[in-house]
Structure 1
Amino acid sequence: MTDPQIALLMLGLFIFVIMLGFPIAFTLMAMGIGFGYYAYFDAERMRNIFDNRVFDLFVNQTYSVMANDVLTAIPLFLFMGYIVERANIVERLFDTLSMATRRLPGSMAVAALITCALFATATGIVGAVVTLMGLLALPAMLKARYDERFATGVICAGGTLGILIPPSIMLIVYAAASGVSIVRLYAGALLPGFLLAGMYLIYIVGRAMLNPSLAPQPERRSDSISTGKLMWMLATSFFPLAILILAVLGAILFGLATPSEAAAIGALGGLLLAAAYRALTWQRLQESVYLTVRTTAMVCWLFVGSWTFASVFSYLGGEQVVREFVVGLDLTPLQFLLLAQLIIFLLGWPLEWSEIIIIFVPIFLPLLPLFNIDPLFFGILIALNLQTSFLTPPMAMSAYYLKGIAPPQIRLTQIFAGSLPYVVMVFLTMIVLYVFPDIAYWLPRMFYGR
């Protein structure tokens, strides 16, 4: 077998092994070292079994990941998210927004979506947002006689917005994998994120207006709350979290702090917020640190394994084979984008977003110059596309998170049915973004020029 054929065997074997359920990070490292041992084998210079350059490659890649300034922001943002999650703010926030939007059609669903979006943006942890909102908002909506599919779909869709709207951990990972400026990426993703959230809100209000039985209006006694009390509720629940997110994001976008420095500010702000709500206990602090370390370690070892695997794959000529194959298809830029996004959409069923970004997206990145596609624009399309990985059956993880804590009468098929309209809206947003790319480019150009 030639080296390029071995590279393709390496890729095919990796896909087969992960489908069997083996840990992905360690599979990447093992296959990278195993095939790399063959690729770098030099019998003339070999003095002992460990005298092979693949081990130097592995050590260098590990050091590069651990010293990467962009990745430093990940544990800090995660810590902020886990602390905020434990600050007992979500229940108060949902109640406040339910009161503030009570005159809108589908008011509780609107409140649930805004709460999900804000909480997801602060934490970036889809499972935590969907689970917590399923415990708080779903029973309230079901008690108000909301349609089961309508209520569950709102929570599943809203909980995924945090991987798109900055400060998003997914965008940090993409920036590290692609070399795109995280600051420009945050600026570019902001308007598409708001566009998608806005489309969700329009759908919710529109469906509730066309079919009021899906989301009955609350009883009139809910209107008895005074304006002063409502403002106090907003001041003590909505504004603190919103100000924390805006402060972190503003510090990054306006160049006042690097992403890592802004993340540190956010982590400190999360601690102060938890302390202000009297939710900062030693046990919760320990849990937050443990979860932060565990998730960060997973992401970092995925990077180590992926970069080792990719280096060996490229050295064997696999990257050139893929490049020649794509060139031979004679695709237009639109056709390439459609093919790439279709592959990522299908990968979203068996894999997590982190695995897709770290392992498979780098295969597409060297091909972007061939089609004159900006990696920033490509990354935002991916961030939109990955919303569907949490919402599309049969592997819609948001649905499974929600089913795990939903009342027994809620069937998984109902959650799937409620989530599918939001998948359509994700695709519509991607189409709008392709037709009007300035939605992604306007803020980066305004803040940082071309």
Structure 2
Amino acid sequence: MIGIIMFFTALFMLIIGFPVAFTFAAVSVLFGIIAGFVEILSYAEQGQTLLSLIHDGWVEGISMFDYMPFRIFAIQQSTILMAIPMFIFMGIILQKTGLAEKLLESMGFLFGEIRGGVAISTVLVGTLLAASTGVVGASVVAMGVISLPVMLKYKYNKELATGTICASGTLGQIIPPSIVLIILGDVFQVPVGDLFKAALVPGLTLVGAYILYILILAYLNKDIAPSIPSDPSRGTKKKQVIRALIDIIPSLTLIILVLGSIFEGIATPTESAAVGCFGAVGLALMYKTFSIKIIKEASLEAVKITSMVFAILIGATAFSMVFSYTGGDEIVEKLMLSLPGDDKWGFIIFTMIAILLLGFFIDFIEISYIIIPILLPVAETLGINPVWFAILIAMNLQTSFLTPPFGFSLFYLKGCSPAGVTTGHIYRGVVPFILIQVIILGIVAFYPEIFGMTAQM
């Protein structure tokens, strides 16, 4: 039971706000020592002093960390994880070129005359940004600064406006190239290209569901998302269409270069990430926003984010090692295999509910590196297709950015919202989109063949 107690101790520390990487590392060392002491105590000889037992327990507990340098070295050699800093760098460069601003302005006026048009354009721009950057914070902030004032100006319902922006910003979690999918590829030890291909149709289905919801809502209530009068200063409709295409084509070109090279087998995800970085710098040159300062700022920010991810990964590696050593994985496996009903579906439903609830409190990185490795042996025992299971988890993790009270997208949007937009507006606004995500998740789970996947290996 030491491993289970360790798990809930780490979870409690995360909830009350301790730094993630240091929490995992400290808890691992503490419970490693406790586990060593308990093992020595169980075999203690008569007459052995308490001090000797404590010393032996300390040595036994610490000795299990002898292999940590080899694990860390293996992490550093992972070619899959090399894609993370490059995709982050690409996204930051694109953010600084003003690409999001150009897309939102053009498409906002292009669809503005339709009821709910600005919200629809926000979803479409969010899709393009997701497929070209995959950085949630950048997408939400960009659309919050540019799109939200426009929607509020034309009397859009605040809940609909904020919910649309938050949901659209999180599309980068499921639409390739996605940092979540790269991390899951490493955890599941499956090709990231296979995950990218499998995630594309579910991601676009989610986009279609968002747009359908906005259209239905605007049709039923004309005041919730009114149309925007055409702006003669922007020229004729034909000129507006041409202007929008000029702003969209660079993004589409970059998406084709990055994803096309992966899907056609021309390049690995790591190599295509390098292509994306090159393309992002090319766009900066094209928009005449390139400077050494931008490169320096983007590099520093990418290093900071990547360092955080790898620090968490190292702490999570120590955690999973101690968890397995203390027999926690065996307890979890027995629990999962004893769930009522069909073994596979009982495990899937329990897993999805658990990840959804954990997403209320902890980040997707911690879930990916701590929770999922505990569940993987059970999934393998049940013969579950790892690609299908990874896509279910990725779609579920996407909701962790939206679920109150700690969804990151909610904080990002609140930080850049006008004074009239409250946290309550944002919380209420994301609820319908969370429900849409859960519905699409259910369809992918029960009807995977629609999306070209199978549930069994």
User: How far apart are residue 17 of structure 1 and its match?
Assistant: 2.2
Which residue identity does 2:147 align to in structure 1? A
Matches within 5 A, 1:167-206: 167-206=177-216
Q: Which moved more, 1:289-298 or 1:375-384?
A: 375-384
What's the counterpart of residue 117 of structure 1? 127
Counterpart contact for 1:163–1:171, Cα < 8 Å: yes
* Separation in structure 1 between the aligned mates of residue 233 and residue 450 of structure 2, nearest angstrom: 38
What's the counterpart of residue 374 of structure 2? 363
Which residue identity does 2:7 align to in structure 1? L
* Separation in structure 1 between the aligned mates of residue 450 and residue 73 of structure 2, nearest angstrom: 37
User: In the alignment, is residue 100 of structure 1 matched against residue 100 of structure 2?
Assistant: no
Identify which of 123, 126, 143 aligns with 2:153.
143
Residues 329 and 221 of structure 1: CA distance in aligned 2, closer, same or farther (over 3 Å): closer
User: How far apart are residue 414 of structure 1 and its match?
Assistant: 1.4
User: How far apart are residue 81 of structure 1 and its match?
Assistant: 0.6
Which residue identity does 2:79 align to in structure 1? D
* Separation in structure 1 between the aligned mates of residue 70 and residue 228 of structure 2, nearest angstrom: 60
Counterpart contact for 2:404–2:427, Cα < 8 Å: yes
User: How far apart are residue 181 of structure 1 and its match?
Assistant: 1.6
Q: Which moved more, 1:8-17 or 1:125-134?
A: 8-17
TM-score norm. by structure 2 comes to 0.90
User: In the alignment, is residue 413 of structure 1 matched against residue 428 of structure 2?
Assistant: no
User: How far apart are residue 370 of structure 1 and its match?
Assistant: 3.3
What do the CA deviations read for 1:355-382 (whole angstroms, capped 9, x no partner)?
Answer: 1111111111111133332121111111
Unaligned stretches of 5+ residues in structure 2? 41-51
Q: Which moved more, 1:405-414 or 1:196-205?
A: 405-414
User: In the alignment, is residue 12 of structure 1 matched against residue 8 of structure 2?
Assistant: yes
Identify which of 300, 319, 326 aligns with 2:310.
300
Counterpart contact for 2:36–2:61, Cα < 8 Å: no
Which residue identity does 2:404 align to in structure 1? P
User: In the alignment, is residue 161 of structure 1 matched against residue 171 of structure 2?
Assistant: yes
What do the CA deviations read for 1:25-47 (whole angstroms, capped 9, x no partner)?
Answer: 1221223234335656899999x
User: How far apart are residue 228 of structure 1 and its match?
Assistant: 5.0
Q: Partner of 1:160: helix, strand, or coil?
A: helix
User: In the alignment, is residue 428 of structure 1 matched against residue 424 of structure 2?
Assistant: no
Which residue identity does 2:279 align to in structure 1? G
Counterpart contact for 1:133–1:155, Cα < 8 Å: yes
* Separation in structure 1 between the aligned mates of residue 30 and residue 429 of structure 2, nearest angstrom: 45
Matches within 5 A, 1:18-417: 18-37=14-33, 53-221=63-231, 225-226=235-236, 228-332=238-342, 333-417=344-428
Between the two proteins, the alignment pairs up a number of residues equal to: 440
User: How far apart are residue 144 of structure 1 and its match?
Assistant: 1.5
* Separation in structure 1 between the aligned mates of residue 157 and residue 334 of structure 2, nearest angstrom: 52
* Separation in structure 1 between the aligned mates of residue 231 and residue 260 of structure 2, nearest angstrom: 40
* Separation in structure 2 between the aligned mates of residue 50 and residue 335 of structure 1, nearest angstrom: 38
Which residue identity does 2:394 align to in structure 1? A
* Separation in structure 1 between the aligned mates of residue 16 and residue 28 of structure 2, nearest angstrom: 18
Q: Partner of 2:452: helix, strand, or coil?
A: helix
User: How far apart are residue 156 of structure 1 and its match?
Assistant: 0.9
Q: Partner of 1:213: helix, strand, or coil?
A: coil
Unaligned stretches of 5+ residues in structure 1? none
Which residue identity does 2:180 align to in structure 1? M
CA RMSD of aligned residues (A): 2.5
Counterpart contact for 2:361–2:405, Cα < 8 Å: no
Q: Partner of 1:214: helix, strand, or coil?
A: coil
* Separation in structure 1 between the aligned mates of residue 325 and residue 452 of structure 2, nearest angstrom: 35
User: How far apart are residue 327 of structure 1 and its match?
Assistant: 2.1
Which residue identity does 1:435 align to in structure 2? F
User: How far apart are residue 130 of structure 1 and its match?
Assistant: 1.1
Counterpart contact for 2:414–2:422, Cα < 8 Å: yes
* Separation in structure 2 between the aligned mates of residue 152 and residue 13 of structure 1, nearest angstrom: 35
* Separation in structure 1 between the aligned mates of residue 287 and residue 355 of structure 2, nearest angstrom: 41
Which residue identity does 1:324 align to in structure 2? K
What do the CA deviations read for 1:363-422 (whole angstroms, capped 9, x no partner)?
Answer: 111111333321211111111112222222233332222122211111211122211111
Counterpart contact for 1:150–1:418, Cα < 8 Å: yes
Residues 9 and 198 of structure 1: CA distance in aligned 2, closer, same or farther (over 3 Å): same
Counterpart contact for 2:32–2:61, Cα < 8 Å: no
* Separation in structure 2 between the aligned mates of residue 401 and residue 375 of structure 1, nearest angstrom: 32
What do the CA deviations read for 1:176-216 (whole angstroms, capped 9, x no partner)?
Answer: 11112211111100000000011001111121122121111
What's the counterpart of residue 46 of structure 2? none
Q: Which moved more, 1:186-195 or 1:31-40?
A: 31-40
Which residue identity does 1:187 align to in structure 2? K
Residues 224 and 267 of structure 1: CA distance in aligned 2, closer, same or farther (over 3 Å): closer
Residues 392 and 52 of structure 1: CA distance in aligned 2, closer, same or farther (over 3 Å): closer
* Separation in structure 2 between the aligned mates of residue 288 and residue 104 of structure 1, nearest angstrom: 37
TM-score norm. by structure 1 comes to 0.91
Residues 103 and 285 of structure 1: CA distance in aligned 2, closer, same or farther (over 3 Å): same
Q: Which moved more, 1:331-340 or 1:172-181?
A: 331-340
What do the CA deviations read for 1:103-142 (whole angstroms, capped 9, x no partner)?
Answer: 4331111111111221133222222211121110011111
